[in-house]
Amino acid sequence: MNTSNNALTEAVYYILLALVEPLHGYGIMQRTAQLSGGRLVISAGTLYGALSTLLEKGWIEQLELQADSRKKEYKITSAGRAVLEQELTRLEELVRNGVKILKR
């Protein structure tokens, strides 16, 4: 688990958000674009590199392949959800401080 104060990259943040529901690679790419309003478009190379890292960290897991499918599906783990919650708290603090300083 991410026990330090390291910030997640935007791509990793959105991948973890997308994987609250199980998805395959192309579905993750579509969902991250949707969640970011089209601002974040993840390439296949970036996605599969990130998935590999997230699997190694135990933040996501690959689901068992269905007999009639070749698509690998992934979902967030409880450790990944904890990291995502921690990042959300960090981001909320950033926004609160910005609003306070800029008096918005």
**pLDDT, average across residues 63-91:** 92
Q: What is the CATH number of the domain that holds 90?
A: 1.10.10.10
User: Does residue 4 belong to any structural domain of this protein?
Assistant: no
Closest among 81, 82, 62 to 73, alpha carbons compared: 62
Residue 5 forms part of a structural domain: no
5 has pLDDT over 90: no
- Domain range for 95: 10-102
Domain count, the chain: 1
What is the per-residue pLDDT for 70? 80
* pLDDT value of residue 2: 43
Average pLDDT of the chain is: 92
Instruction: Tell me if 52 is assigned to some domain.
Output: yes
Query: Does residue 42 fall inside a structural domain?
Result: yes
Three-class DSSP category at 93: helix
pLDDT grade for 6, boundaries at 50, 70 and 90: confident
Please check whether residue 2 lies inside any domain of the structure.
Answer: no
What is the pLDDT, as a whole number, of residue 1? 45
